Amino acid sequence: MKVGLCFDGFYSMQEMVELARLADDVGMDSIWMSDHICFRDCLASSMAFLATTRRITVIPAPLSPYSRHPIICAMAIATLEEFAPGRVGATAGTGNAAALEEVGIKATRPLKTMREYMEILRRFLSGETVQFQGEVFHIRGAKMGFQPTTPVPIFMTAVKPRMLRLAGEIGDGVLLSAGCAPEYIDLCAKEIRKGLERAKKSPEESVVAGFVTTSVSENAAEAIEASKTFLAYIFRNKHHAENIRMGGGKIDQESLAAAVARRDWEGAKKLVSDEVVFAHSVSGTASECRRRLENFIQGGLSLPILLPMGNQEARKKVVEMARTLSA
């Protein structure tokens, strides 16, 4: 099976580069660099990964219209592709609403914003002189001074039904958030298919990728504990309420959001039960993780992207495990 590797940007560049090289060696399909506000930058990191690997595809995820203007994104994507032709993808998405609000950015009119953003990005990357008078963006004759020599697939991130349908309609693929339970992935895949049908595209024309929070340890309880901090970070967002419900668990999201805002990680972890971690991640021994990953694929992922948890040695085990998974 094809599997990708996700970096959340929470640990050092030196470690990420080391793991990127390992992912390249073991035959993983792709590296996806998350763009979490206040952590390592996805575009600068992506260039470092391309420079230190030989064949693996590198995809920054997501580039947000609220924090990065489309011309800035187009310039960055084209620069990456010029450096490593055929090894670059991109992901556009609104980004983490709670994190955006922390820095004073309000994510408004997301559907209209994303539709315009995707169109403008593609037009810049195709080398057009762009005249665009939309409801959100206004471009007055800008044109890239250079353009990619190979096509760059642009995925869209989505969680809610209308955005999932839009992503199926206009994206080259769809990227689902970390923490999605297999049951919720199945629901997402159905909404994506509606978008594909609207655009008269076949399912084979779109990849359903998804970050899968993954922790490997000989001690299954230790692996589950290692996944709690990251799940606490993302589950504070209200848009995960239905996902949490479908996974069969309960979380006091208001208290969780307050704990994360205080950076009280120990308090936040206490609000995420072992049962919730099991439902929304691949956490356990290597053999348990391989079996559990099948549930996420059966749920509708055509490209699971492993997001390693735990300490540095534990994260390396996740990439090593992929040696037995990669096709």
3-state secondary structure 244-257: HHHCCCCCCHHHHH
Q: Which residue has the tokens 């792709």?
A: 30
Which parts of 271-311 fold into alpha helices (H)?
A: 274-280, 286-299
Instruction: Give the global pTM.
Output: 0.93
Q: How far is CA 321 from the centre of its chain?
A: 20
Position 204 scores a pLDDT of 86
Task: Decide: 33 and 58 in contact? Cβ < 8 Å.
Answer: yes
Task: Decide: 326 and 27 in contact? Cβ < 8 Å.
Answer: yes
Over residues 20-68, the pLDDT tens digits come to 999 999 999 999 999 989 999 999 999 999 999 999 999 999 999 999 9
180 token code pair: 């999605």
> Looking at the domain 4-218+283-324, which fold is it?
TIM Barrel (3.20.20)
Partners of residue 296 on adjacent β-strands: none
Q: Which residue has the tokens 């575009």?
A: 43
Task: Decide: 182 and 295 in contact? Cβ < 8 Å.
Answer: yes
* Residue 79 banded pLDDT, cuts 50, 70, 90: very high
Residue 156, phi then psi, degrees to nearest 5: -125, 140
What's the CA angle centered on 262, arms 260 and 263, to 5 degrees? Answer: 60
| Stretch among 10-14, 96-100, 286-290 having the lowest mean pLDDT | 96-100
Domain boundaries, the chain: 4-218+283-324
